[in-house]
Amino acid sequence: MIVEPAPAKLNLALHVRARRPDGYHELETLFAFVADGDVVTIEPAGAPGLTLTGPFAAGLSGEGDNLVLRAERLFRARVANGAPVAILLDKRLPVASGIGGGSADAAATLRALARLAAVPIDDPRLVDCAEALGSDVPACLLGRTALGRGRGEVLLPLDGLASLPALLVNPGVAVSTAAVFARWDGIDHGPIGAGDPLAAALAGRNDLEPPALALAPEIADVLALLQAQPGVTLARMSGSGATCFALFDSAANRAAAAQAVRRAHSWWCLETALAGRQGLSHGDSLAA
């Protein structure tokens, strides 16, 4: 049995630079990862197929196919053609919420299958699989702080991001990524700055926040509540929403903010922290 974490991804900043002829958008984004997320378990001796569990399993139960199964098929087609395996996905993160849940699950599946087949994690065929699966999957496969360019798949690993306490909040509204990108204003507001990742994030922005707010005004309520909490270093929407995050100067202030959110709303709320060390190794575990 192989257990692989699929930690949530945060876009500390997300700058949309241009629309591309291929239909994608040219991006610059600061990827970071937290200490919690979904968990993928592979059992080679089990009945082949995907089993879903966890608080958000129902959000995927109607899918005939998903990124985890596509990752398995692509791995067997391009990397190592082993027998199909039993996969258990413990779905702890909200579905389609801007924190890379599906992409993280696909990346964790690739890492787990690589372990099973004794394929090195830096094998370029894994990166090829990740790029074919989606724009965020390469960053989730890397699993460490990085500056992403292109669609987000051109990655420059970064050092210097501390293990800051983080609070993730989702108001329970569905936001279409395609609809959010379609409402982008088309204006290049400039690149992400160089230097320390946190300083660059603080000086940056998420260009998808305005169109997401137009589609889901509840996001504005989340941001306002987070920004009003003591000890907040940065509060912003992640990805195309609707999950927002806040980074705090202390675990005590994060806990107090979580209590304030839970008192005021029935929103999904996760107390966690940015990944303290750069990158995740095979077999790293997540908090329950």
Q: What's the alpha-carbon Rg for the chain, to the nearest Å?
A: 18
**Pairing relationship of beta strands 268-273 and 49-53 according to DSSP bridges:** unpaired
**Per the residue annotation, which of 9, 38, 90, 105 is the catalytic one?**
9
Strand partners, 237: 244
For residue 233, the number of C-alpha atoms closer than 13 Å in the C-beta half-sphere is: 20
Q: Within 10 Å of residue 159's Cβ, how many Cβ atoms?
A: 9
At 52, is the secondary structure helix, strand, or coil? Answer: strand
Is 91 tagged catalytic? no
**For residues 59 and 41, what is the distance between their CA atoms, to the nearest angstrom?**
19
* Orientation of helix 124-133 relative to helix 101-116, angle to 10°: 150
- Find, among 96, 184, 100, the residue nearest to 134 by Cα: 100
At 59, is the secondary structure helix, strand, or coil? Answer: helix
What lies within 8 Å, CB to CB, of 282 at 6+ separation is 4, 111, 115, 121
**For residues 24 and 136, what is the distance between their CA atoms, to the nearest angstrom?**
13
Is 38 tagged catalytic? no
- Find, among 251, 257, 188, the residue nearest to 223 by Cα: 257
- Find, among 145, 123, 182, 163, the residue nearest to 273 by Cα: 163
**For residues 200 and 261, what is the distance between their CA atoms, to the nearest angstrom?**
27
**Per the residue annotation, which of 36, 38, 90, 136 is the catalytic one?**
136
Angle at 111 between CA 107 and CA 116, to 5 degrees: 145
- Residues designated catalytic: 9, 136
